[in-house]
Amino acid sequence: MQQFVVDANILISILISGKSSYKPILSFLDFFTPDFALEEIEKYRPVIFEKSKLKADELRQFAFFVFNEVTVVPNFVISDEAIVKATELVQNIDIKDISYTALALELDFVLLTRDKKLVQGLKRKGFRMVMLFEDFLKTL
């Protein structure tokens, strides 16, 4: 089974889209995200409800499905080593991406993101376990 770390941007865009085409992807692959993603999603809650084409109750039902398929990993289980390495990798890119990068390092899974700057910056620093979500979708 293929396993990936996803960032909040991907989860937010999936929620906003409400597309059922994401259901098989979420069902047949394993996705993980750090608990920090929940803070970011909550921050954008009004935007999610505003931009979604789903009615509020449909969006909630879709969100239950999404979060039933994504494993939220508490930050405390990520090793100090992974956090230190992630901090070094993202310090000149975007410090908010430490949790995602650290989780990818900890689990040795590919980090999926929509953040081109993050992908380019991590690859420049030799971190190859990162992929743009759009490129990932093309591989399916």
Domain boundaries, the chain: 3-139
Q: Which pTM was predicted? A: 0.94
* pLDDT higher than threshold 70 for residue 20: yes
CATH number of 3-139: 3.40.50.1010
* pLDDT higher than threshold 70 for residue 1: no
pLDDT digits (tens, 9 = 90+) for 44-58: 999 999 999 899 999
Q: How many CA atoms lie within 13 A of 117 on its CB side?
A: 8
Tell me how many degrees the CA angle 86-91-94 measures, rounded to the nearest 5: 95
Confidence at 140, pLDDT banded by 50, 70, 90: confident
Q: Tell me what percent of the residues of the chain surpass a pLDDT of 70.
A: 99
pLDDT digits (tens, 9 = 90+) for 127-138: 999 999 999 999
pLDDT digits (tens, 9 = 90+) for 95-131: 999 999 999 999 999 999 999 999 999 999 999 999 9
pLDDT digits (tens, 9 = 90+) for 53-74: 899 999 999 999 999 999 999 9
* pLDDT higher than threshold 80 for residue 92: yes
